[in-house]
Amino acid sequence: MDIVVLGSAAGGGLPQWNCSCLLCRRARAGDPLVVSRTQSSLAVSADGQRWVLLNASPDVREQITRTGQLHPRGGGRDSPIAAVVLTNADVDHIAGLLSLREAQPFALMATRRVHEVLAANPVFNVLNPRLVARRTVGLDEAAAIAGADGEPTGLTVRLFPVPGKVALYLEDPAAGPELGTVAEDTVGVEMSGPQDGARFFYIPGCSRITGDLARRLDGAALVLFDGTVWSDDEMAATGVGAKTGQRMGHLCMSGPDGSIAAFSGLNVGRKLFIHINNTNPVLAGDSPERRTAEAAGWEIAVDGLEIRL
Ligand code: MLT
Ligand code: MN
Ligand code: ZN
């Protein structure tokens, strides 16, 4: 199984269009220690021929352009992208669907809830219903991924609920502290290939590591996990916003209740942070936070990284 990190940043990317925080300024200036990143997404293939996207980021056009494996082959219109799997309905995970129009068949797989959100917004009808097969995946069901034509990709996906939050534009303050969030709003992905042991987890949004989640991840060869913020109050501390990581549905990396501590007792072969916000100091190759994360066995995902399992 081949995995390509198409994008490693959280919503907004690095640099973010309207941000002049230190990290965005360094990235914009071309500082080699703060490399630019597009918004988080992976491409996965069992055979190197047919590919599955995990989320469709607003940067998908650029991501496809710079990833040779995803280029059209032969003459005329073509794409090796057989399917797209969504982990939630956040803008940074669905906006790229609008760039995947142009009468191209593929399968679109998500929870019932995420499909309802897309169905309620007519702009997604640009995905021609005669060509794009919208398939609902039940929670914790092993679903073989096939293209719109029914041809299997050799990959199997399992979507499981993780603590998180409904998409920002659907928040309902009248619905109480959970803002109307339901279990199917945010899921993690377990992806398996046809070979034994080719299996990994992609969890770009998660606000808490429950006992169930820890047991699920223990023993995994590879986990790509929510790296949005280093500390819960980092947006306020860097002066770019008031929301905490928790308020946005994201668990911070540092501290006794953070993800680094939560993973320290788990046996995971390779751990990468992905969906990293432009305020997160781990993005700087010369930061003490980067050294701390790396010393704890974490890698900071970068765009273009390729992993073979
Ligand atoms: C998030 O990850 O919290 C969302 O992408 C935020 C957003 O939609 O801007
Ligand atoms: Mn996001
Ligand atoms: Zn910034």
pLDDT (0 to 100) of residue 195: 85
Closest residue CA from atom 5 of ligand 1: 11
Q: What is the DSSP letter of 285?
A: T
Name the pTM for this structure. 0.97
Would you say residue 25 has pLDDT above 90? yes
Cα(13) to centroid(ligand 2), Å: 10
Predicted pLDDT at 197: 78
pLDDT at position 75, please? 84
Kindly state the tokens that stand for 9.
């940043």
What mean pLDDT do residues 194-223 have? 95
Residue nearest to atom 3 of ligand 1 (CA): 248
Q: What is the pLDDT of residue 282?
A: 98
Ligand 1 contact, 90 CB (< 6 A): yes
* Tens-place pLDDT, residues 45-78: 999 999 999 999 999 999 999 999 999 998 899 9
Ligand nearest to the CA of 19: 3
Confidence at residue 102, expressed as pLDDT on a 0 to 100 scale = 85
Q: In the chain, helix, strand, coil percent, each to 5?
A: 25, 25, 50
Q: Which of 289, 286, 210, 282 is nearest to 251 (CA)?
A: 210
* More confident call, 40 vs 74: 40
Pocket test for ligand 1, best of 18, 92, 240 (most atoms within 8 A of CB): 92
Whether 132 has a pLDDT exceeding 90, the answer reads yes
Residues around ligand 3, an ion, CB closer than 5 A: 19, 21, 24, 278
For 164, half-sphere exposure in the C-beta direction (CA atoms, 13 angstrom radius) is 24
Is a pLDDT exceeding 90 seen at residue 196?
no
Is residue 125 helix, strand or coil? helix
What tens digit of pLDDT does each residue of 229-284 get? 999 999 999 999 999 999 999 999 999 999 999 999 999 999 999 999 999 999 99
pLDDT 10s digits, 142-181: 999 999 999 999 999 999 999 999 999 999 999 999 999 9
What is the reported pLDDT for 74?
Answer: 86
